[in-house]
């Protein structure tokens, strides 16, 4: 017969996949009952809808099961009380140097932050940011999207996410898309999606800082940032608030690409952040009847600009009604097109080359 002490010892090897600490250290083991060969363990999750609940239960089951042949292990899950959560928050918060009120910043490990920028609105910046996240996720990367386009947030809509973020002792828990992309956007906090957000610089700065420091992103390979349109104040504010690894610029053939690229390059230089690639969206359309490729707006000069600024050209993305339609109904994750290959490959390289991840609270 096993003892409670043995069970507790075994459970010490069960690591919370997001917090990287033992469930015993985190105070998640609520009760151990032993009756003959039956062992019943109750584990209190930090939040009731914890996405990792099945994994934690399975790991705990295995750890106890391995103690002795022939024992019957039953793991039941519950969630922490408000005061247990407060206690955990205090303990976790005490561990780091974060200035924020939540421990998230100390617990987050984000490898690369990729900012997707455009010269003006409507060129498909959000759609491309979403597709970059989708492509990296398909490659098995752990991805988040921070929607910093505060005045026109469209990321939740594109990725079909509606539920508001939940509060946990670890910070604000970002909701996830169907393939597991973590999302944070001001839109998720508004009662009415259509509500226009008219914010001034300092409020944008504080929202972005919160999205970075107080959101529990956990371990991410890439955080894709959908930037406010343009290269002026709002974009600059965001760039200054986040440790951006690289900037990707989206233009359209109608853009005055030369001017846009010059401004973006200037901003990148000013912030000491590399411009890592240029994408031209809405470059062409394929006739649904004859299959011919038309460049409706004439040939853009993005490729030439990329060469002039010594920045990789990540290709032309065609106008595809299917992409717009899937985006409109929150199903952009179902879209696939070779046009995104170079963009996604670049994102992958940025992750590969990134140094060891930093806690967001260290920034």
Q: Is 342 in the site for ligand ADP (CB under 6 A)?
A: no
CA distances from 211 to 9, 94, 173, 266, 331 (A): 37, 21, 10, 26, 24
Contacts with ligand ADP: how many residues (CB under 6 A)? 18
- x/- map, 279-298, ligand ADP, by CB under 6 A: --xx----------------
Among 295, 320, 331, 345, binds ligand ADP (CB under 6 A): 320
Among 234, 264, 323, 346, binds ligand ADP (CB under 6 A): 323
Minimum separation from the CB atom of position 120 to ligand ADP (A): 8
Instruction: Assign 266 to helix, strand or coil.
Output: helix
253 DSSP 8-state letter: T
Give the residue with the Cβ less far from ligand ADP, 73 or 224: 224
The answer to whether 184 touches 174, Cβ cutoff 8 Å, is yes
Q: Which stretch binds ligand ADP (CB under 6 A): 43-51, 92-100, 116-124, 165-173?
A: 116-124
Taken as a whole, the chain contains a residue count of 363
Minimum separation from the CB atom of position 328 to ligand ADP (A): 6
Q: Is 319 in the site for ligand ADP (CB under 6 A)?
A: yes
Q: What is the C-alpha to C-alpha distance for residues 135 and 268, in angstroms, rounded to an integer?
A: 25
Minimum separation from the CB atom of position 283 to ligand ADP (A): 8
Q: Is 317 in the site for ligand ADP (CB under 6 A)?
A: yes
Question: Smallest Cα–Cα separation from 212: which of 235, 233, 184?
Answer: 184
Residue linked to tokens 């939940």? 166
CA distances from 144 to 108, 137, 186, 226, 287 (A): 12, 9, 15, 11, 35
CA distances from 34 to 5, 69, 303 (A): 11, 15, 69
Q: Is 157 in the site for ligand ADP (CB under 6 A)?
A: no
Q: Is 187 in the site for ligand ADP (CB under 6 A)?
A: no
Give the residue with the Cβ less far from ligand ADP, 106 or 154: 154
Residue number closest to ligand ADP, CB atom: 124
Give the residue with the Cβ less far from ligand ADP, 41 or 117: 117
Q: Is 154 in the site for ligand ADP (CB under 6 A)?
A: yes
- x/- map, 118-147, ligand ADP, by CB under 6 A: x--xxxxxxx--------------------
What angle do the packed helices 125-138 and 321-328 form, to 10 degrees? Answer: 80
Give the residue with the Cβ less far from ligand ADP, 301 or 320: 320
Q: Which stretch binds ligand ADP (CB under 6 A): 115-123, 137-145, 184-192, 240-248?
A: 115-123
Dump the DSSP string for 137-181: HHTT--EEEEE--TTS--HHHHTT--SPPEEETTEEEPPB-TT--
Residue 237 is encoded by which pair of tokens? 């504010």
Q: Which stretch binds ligand ADP (CB under 6 A): 9-17, 133-141, 216-224, 320-328?
A: 320-328
Q: What is the C-alpha to C-alpha distance for residues 180 and 256, in angstroms, rounded to an integer?
A: 36
**219: CB partners within 8 A, 6+ apart:** 18, 108, 109, 142, 357
Q: Is 112 in the site for ligand ADP (CB under 6 A)?
A: no
Q: Interface with ligand ADP by CB under 6 A: which residues?
A: 118, 121-127, 154, 229, 281-282, 317, 319-320, 323-324, 327
């Amino acid at each position: 017969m096993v003892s409670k002490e043995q069970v507790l010892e075994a459970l010490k090897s069960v690591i919370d996949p997001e917090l990287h600490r033992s469930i015993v250290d985190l105070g998640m083991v609520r009760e151990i009952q032993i009756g003959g060969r039956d062992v019943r363990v109750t584990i209190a999750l930090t939040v009731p809808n914890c996405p990792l609940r099945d994994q934690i239960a399975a790991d705990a089951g295995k750890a106890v099961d391995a103690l002795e042949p022939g024992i019957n292990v039953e793991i039941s899950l519950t969630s922490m009380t408000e005061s247990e959560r407060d206690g955990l928050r205090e303990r976790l918060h005490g561990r780091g140097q974060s200035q924020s009120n939540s421990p998230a910043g100390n617990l987050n490990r984000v490898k690369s932050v990729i900012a997707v920028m455009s010269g003006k609105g409507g060129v498909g910046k959000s759609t491309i940011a979403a597709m970059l996240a989708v492509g990296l996720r398909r490659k098995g990367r752990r991805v988040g999207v921070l929607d910093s386009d505060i005045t026109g947030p469209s990321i939740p809509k594109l990725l079909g996410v509606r539920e508001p973020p939940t509060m946990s002792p670890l910070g604000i828990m970002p909701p996830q898309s169907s393939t597991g992309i973590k999302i944070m956007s001001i839109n998720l906090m508004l009662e009415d999606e259509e509500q226009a957000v008219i914010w001034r610089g300092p409020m944008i700065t504080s929202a972005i800082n919160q999205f970075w420091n107080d959101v529990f992103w956990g371990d991410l390979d890439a955080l894709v940032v959908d930037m406010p349109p343009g290269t002026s104040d709002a974009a600059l504010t965001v760039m200054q608030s986040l440790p951006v690894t690289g900037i990707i610029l989206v233009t359209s053939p109608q853009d005055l690409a030369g001017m846009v690229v010059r401004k973006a390059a200037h901003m990148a230089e000013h912030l000491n952040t590399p411009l890592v690639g240029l994408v031209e969206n809405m470059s062409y359309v394929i006739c649904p009847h004859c299959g011919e490729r038309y460049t409706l707006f004439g040939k853009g000069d993005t490729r030439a600009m990329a060469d002039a600024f010594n920045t990789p050209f990540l290709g032309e993305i065609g106008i595809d009604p299917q992409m717009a339609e899937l985006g409109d109904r929150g199903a952009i994750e179902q879209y696939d097109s070779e046009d995104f290959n170079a963009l996604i490959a670049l994102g992958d390289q940025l992750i590969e080359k990134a140094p060891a991840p930093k806690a967001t609270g260290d920034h």
